[in-house]
């Protein structure tokens, strides 16, 4: 199956979401008993992707979808789940980001507790990238995150194999992990000269000049085309990080069936096929 490649136009911080998404429920008691017992390594994938979508996108992978699909098709023993946060815009933007920080913290902790050997790949689009940025690199990001503390505990941070940001509002020019033509910072830009030292060699941050959200431009189209334009570059970076010798051919090519990877697997192209770590995502999607 060939992944669908969509170049959606994204409204990162625009109007209030038309439909109010359900807020994630905390883990149900039925799933927590399963999570209590560390599962055998055969039930844990080697790699697990978390895709954090942009504000105002429906629950799911949002604009990370084509790239997450590409990773699922090109990396071995890989599973994925979307970050289940509200992704609201307008007046609720900052509260939604703050909530997303907690969700990402909890989810990475949960993965680590259950599958301590699993390496994680974090993919964020726009607001989703902002959330990952704040968790890994710290604040302040007022009013979403008023402290400068780095939230991610080091023992879990060690499990983060690679981080991909598309159109991150925290973008500033000059960071060593920047890719693209942008120089001006985004609407939640970092302080001039900031570098996320701890994760610098694991991050690729894609932002082009003219992007409305990561670089003070006026183009939503620019903001929406990163997976198509840079997906191959980001995939190669991840393969490099993982020490995988890529004989995979063209990035968007698929390789038929991959080995079953436990019960985490999600195929974004299937729409609603995800089962994330035993939680009841299906309920959230209804």
| Ordered DSSP codes for 175-240 | -TTEESS--S--TTPPPTT---GGGGGGEEEE--TTBTTTSS-SBHHHHH-HHHHHHHHHHHHHHH
**Minimum distance from CB of 206 to ligand NAG (Å)?**
22
Contact status: 199 vs ligand NAG (CB under 6 A): no
Q: Contact with ligand NAG (CB under 6 A): which of 246, 254, 263, 269?
A: 246
For ligand NAG, the closer of residues 24 and 157 by Cβ is 24
How many angstroms separate the CA atoms of 277 and 281, rounded?
9
Contact status: 245 vs ligand NAG (CB under 6 A): yes
Q: Are 115 and 148 in contact (CB under 8 A)?
A: no
Task: Give the residue nearest to ligand NAG (CB).
Answer: 102
Give the tokens for residue 176: 């060593």
Give the tokens for residue 104: 């990402």
Query: Coil, strand or helix: which one is 141?
Result: strand
For ligand NAG, the closer of residues 182 and 277 by Cβ is 277
How many angstroms separate the CA atoms of 230 and 173, rounded?
18
Active-site residue, from 126, 144, 205, 266: 126
For ligand NAG, the closer of residues 68 and 131 by Cβ is 131
For residue 168, the 8-state DSSP code is: -
Residue 218 is a catalytic residue: no
**Minimum distance from CB of 200 to ligand NAG (Å)?**
23
For ligand NAG, the closer of residues 10 and 103 by Cβ is 103
**Minimum distance from CB of 181 to ligand NAG (Å)?**
26
Hey, which residues between 3 and 42 contact ligand NAG (CB under 6 A)?
A: 26
Hey, which residues between 152 and 181 contact ligand NAG (CB under 6 A)?
A: none
Residue 211 is a catalytic residue: yes
**Minimum distance from CB of 35 to ligand NAG (Å)?**
12
Tokens 């570059």 belong to residue = 233
Q: Are 39 and 8 in contact (CB under 8 A)?
A: no
Chain centroid offset of residue 286 CA: 22
Active-site residue, from 133, 211, 215, 266: 211
Binding mask 76-115 for ligand NAG (x = CB under 6 A): -----------------------x--xx--x---------
| Ordered DSSP codes for 108-136 | HHHHHHH-TT-EEEEEEETHHHHHHHHHH
**Minimum distance from CB of 234 to ligand NAG (Å)?**
16
Residue ranges binding ligand NAG (CB under 6 A): 26, 99, 102-103, 106, 245-246
Please list the active-site residues.
126, 211, 223
């Amino acid at each position: 199956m060939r992944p669908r490649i969509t170049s959606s136009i994204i409204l990162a911080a625009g109007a209030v979401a038309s439909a109010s998404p359900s807020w994630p429920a905390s883990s149900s008691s039925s799933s927590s008993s399963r999570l209590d017992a560390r599962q055998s390594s055969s039930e844990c994938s080697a790699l697990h992707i978390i895709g954090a979508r942009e504000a105002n996108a429906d629950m799911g992978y949002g604009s990370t979808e084509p790239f997450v699909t590409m990773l699922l098709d090109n990396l071995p023993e890989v599973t994925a789940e979307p970050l289940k946060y509200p992704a609201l815009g307008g007046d609720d933007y900052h509260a939604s980001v703050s909530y997303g920080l907690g969700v990402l913290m909890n989810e990475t902790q949960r993965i680590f507790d259950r599958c301590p050997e699993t390496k994680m790949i974090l993919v964020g689009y726009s607001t989703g990238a902002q959330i990952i940025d704040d968790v890994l690199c710290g604040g302040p990001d007022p009013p979403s995150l008023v402290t400068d503390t780095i939230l991610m505990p080091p023992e879990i941070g060690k499990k983060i194999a690679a981080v991909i940001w598309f159109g991150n509002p925290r973008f500033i020019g000059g960071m060593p992990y920047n890719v693209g033509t942008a120089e001006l910072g985004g609407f939640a830009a970092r302080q001039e000269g900031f570098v996320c030292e701890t994760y610098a060699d694991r991050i690729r941050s894609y932002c082009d000049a003219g992007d409305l959200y990561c670089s003070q431009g006026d183009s939503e189209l620019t903001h929406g085309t990163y997976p198509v334009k840079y997906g191959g570059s980001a995939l190669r970076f991840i393969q490099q990080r993982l020490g995988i010798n890529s004989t995979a051919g063209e990035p968007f090519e698929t390789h038929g069936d991959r080995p079953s990877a436990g019960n985490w697997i999600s195929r974004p192209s299937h729409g609603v096929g995800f089962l994330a770590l035993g939680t009841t995502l299906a309920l959230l999607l209804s």
